[in-house]
Amino acid sequence: MQAQEEFRSRLREDLTTTSQPPVGALAADALAAGRRIRRRQRTLRAVGGTAAVAVVAVGSAAIAGSFGSDTGSGPGVGAVGPGAVRTTATAPSQSAPSQSAPTRPDPSRSSTSPTAPSRTHGSWTVPPAAKVKVPEWVTPRAIVAQAEHILPAGTQFSALSGDYAWAGGDPRELWAVSGRLTIGTLTEGTALEVTLHKYNGIPSGGASCSAPTTCDREVLNDGAVVEVAHHSGLSGQGSYVWLFRTDGMSIQVSAKDASKISDDELFAIASDGAFGSLKMEKSFVQQAESTVKGDFMNPPTP
């Protein structure tokens, strides 16, 4: 114990020789930051109607039509099997984008009042989770990078950010990882939110949202459950598609402005094979960590 006390004493002595800046408003700044995190978590719970979720925000007036390519995954993952076919009704190939201005297949979304999703989603299928050769925990930056990859070439991205939320406790699988980005310009674009969270189950019963949010929940052909909602918010009418995969992953993709992106497009992101687990290809995650710039906070490591 004497040696340990000497160790501490020497360290303390060394500390006094460093130019230690004043603590300043550390407590107040931490309080403000903590409040922001809590507000975000409350918002997510309100939107999702359950515990914390992870979010990627994507949205744009500049999206040239629907953006789902049929590959169903990106560079962050390995090859997707032959079942990875997205059958969204309005998803042209990325190599053959719409030549006209963005068109919105669902006119109900231009309404100023909340509207229930106007269709069922029997045509939606969920590709298998991407196979990962060298796995690494997904990070907010990796989520953003993958979202950028899914969106059509030429899409503008800005306001990149991401963090994580406590979603029930440790281990790491129970953290919800968030990434956000704005697509299009800040004034003309919109935010889309995608959620990666290990739900470990399939929700039973119907969707629980209530006015001003309207939503429905549907079991897809493969047993996955999808919840689609439109809701009124401070900045207009938003929407989200929340996919609960049969393997226990939940992916929520929310749009701040539902008039800028269709439910099919939201589902195209949510069902991407790369978002089928909390692991991505290590090289992709590392590249995202070094290249994606913004306001990010990574989850604790396991």
Partner 1 sequence: MGWIGRSGRERQDAEFTEYARARAGRLRETAYLLCGDWHRAQDLTQATLARVYVAWPKIERAEAVDAYARRVLTNEFLGYRRRRSSSERVTDELPETAGRAGQPELRLTLLEALGRLSPARRAVVVLRYWEDHSIETVAEMLGMSTSAVKSASLRALAELRSVLGADFLGDLAAV
Give me the residues that bind partner 1 (CB under 8 A), please: 2-4, 6-8, 10-11, 14-15, 17-21, 23, 26-31, 33-38, 41, 166, 286, 289-290, 297-302
- Nearest distance from C-beta of residue 285 to partner 1, angstroms: 10
- Nearest distance from C-beta of residue 109 to partner 1, angstroms: 32
- Of 7 and 83, nearer to partner 1 (C-beta) is 7
- Nearest distance from C-beta of residue 176 to partner 1, angstroms: 13
**Helical axes 140-150 vs 263-270, angle rounded to 10°:** 130
- Of 31 and 79, nearer to partner 1 (C-beta) is 31
How far CA 273 is from CA of 74, 251, 267, 269, in Å, comes to 8, 11, 12, 9
- Nearest distance from C-beta of residue 203 to partner 1, angstroms: 21
Cα angle vertex 53, ends 26, 273, to 5°? 125
Cα–Cα dist 196/124, whole Å: 19
- Of 170 and 222, nearer to partner 1 (C-beta) is 170
How far CA 215 is from CA of 133, 219, 260, 273, 293, in Å, comes to 37, 14, 18, 24, 34
- Of 18 and 99, nearer to partner 1 (C-beta) is 18
At 255 the three-state DSSP class reads strand
Cα–Cα dist 255/274, whole Å: 20
Which residues make Cβ contacts (< 8 Å) with residue 12, sequence separation at least 6?
Answer: none
- Of 164 and 244, nearer to partner 1 (C-beta) is 164
- Nearest distance from C-beta of residue 48 to partner 1, angstroms: 15
Which residues make Cβ contacts (< 8 Å) with residue 33, sequence separation at least 6?
Answer: none
Token representation of residue 39: 């507000």
Which residues make Cβ contacts (< 8 Å) with residue 265, sequence separation at least 6?
Answer: 63, 66, 67, 68, 88, 90, 91
- Nearest distance from C-beta of residue 53 to partner 1, angstroms: 15
- Of 8 and 133, nearer to partner 1 (C-beta) is 8
- Nearest distance from C-beta of residue 1 to partner 1, angstroms: 9
- Of 156 and 298, nearer to partner 1 (C-beta) is 298
Token representation of residue 185: 């310009």
Q: Sort 50 into a burial class: Cβ within 10 Å, 0-12 / 13-18 / 19+.
A: middle
